[in-house]
A and B are shown apart, each in its own frame.
Chain A
Amino acid sequence: MKKLIIRKLKLGGFLLMLGTVFISCEKNPITLVLHSPIYPSGSQAVTYTAERVTDGSITTAKLYETVNTINSSGTITSTGTETLLKTWNNPSGDLSFTKSGGHGENKLVNYRWAITTPEQTKTFRVTYATRPYPVTDMPAPVYAQGDPDDVFDLVFIPDTDITSLTTFYNHCRGMIRESFFDEPHTQFWRRQYNFYINTQRGHATDYDRRHIDGPHQLPSNNANLSFAEGRALLHQNNLRDWASGGVFSSEMQNRGTVMHEAGHGLYGLADEYGGGTHWEADDFPNNWSTLAGAQAAANDYGNCKDASDATEMGSSGWYHLCGSDCQMVTTGLTHTEYDCPCKSRITYVIFDNAAN
């Protein structure tokens, strides 16, 4: 059935249209639900927020919570009962509720927001673990929404150079809120991501010192992280970051680097600068091996692109349509946005991942 749906979507050609500028529109208010701290200890209070990032009225909002106990094998040994934490009627601004006293250790907490607007009811379900996480050699889910086989999974791995894990945890939350939930296209698809924090550390090396320091030292449970499409080795020291085989390094504050690398690891996007890695994907590429190919593809993006946007990336012999500010051109502290060809590719893989 799922395959039939995706085939129909492809046949109808409307995946092409998804890359247009209208894609990021959704009914107001757009709400982002998060919790803080993102990976609390068993005794820490947790604040749940529903942040209203666009105007729009909310009729009612309800926040529920279920607390489960998990053992070292990853099995739920005690399933909690869903409890209503708070109801809001015609609230203004952002919604917030603090659950004091903590949830205890070895817990997987699930919370559910039911937000009713004049047009619809939106439901958001999120699961997170408390510290310490007991499951042997597995990363702790800190913001899990969907079946890992249907959504994109990203594991944050702390580097041994990080002196404050609290700072690291805050940056992991920042990666979710200030990167994936901020860039317009990934914000639109925000329910299609799971985020994890690895319980074991790795150590990133500098790209220019690999002949001395060797490759990245991966955490001892690296094989167990293979289910994830992205593995981000986040560090404190300034390095020339690099990636190989699905693991990439980044300074823990660099939202732009993580979004660029997510472009490679999660969505299969190629680089959009001359010296990078280039290939033409079979479906919805963002690199073309010929100028004519890029020019012809320009028609697929409505008013967003035309043939004159097709240019060679440096002297690479590869062509692209995205502008110079596209996320696949840039890295660094702040993220930019994915341009239309990248958006189309992201939409395609999100569909394909959920459908297959």
Chain B
Amino acid sequence: MGETPKKGDAEFDGEFYAVYILEDFQRAGLGHAPARKAWRMKDEVTTDKPHAREEPPPFGGSWKNLYAAVLINLAVLVALFYLFTRAFR
């Protein structure tokens, strides 16, 4: 197997690295199953994409729902502050 670039190496770069892994597996005759596993793991191993392999929140369904809840809460608070200011002005 050829030298695989590691994080910090000049040629290391996200999906490019995943291709290296695939080629290494194929050259070593390990077939497509580990290659597919490597492909699935590429985001975890190599990229800094924030949404790669998202862990779901323990409640709320999805992170998007929780983000929306925080922003809706803010909008409701601002509306309440406005009403509060008007009521006591």
A and B, one complex?
no
A residues contacting B by CB (< 8 A) are: none
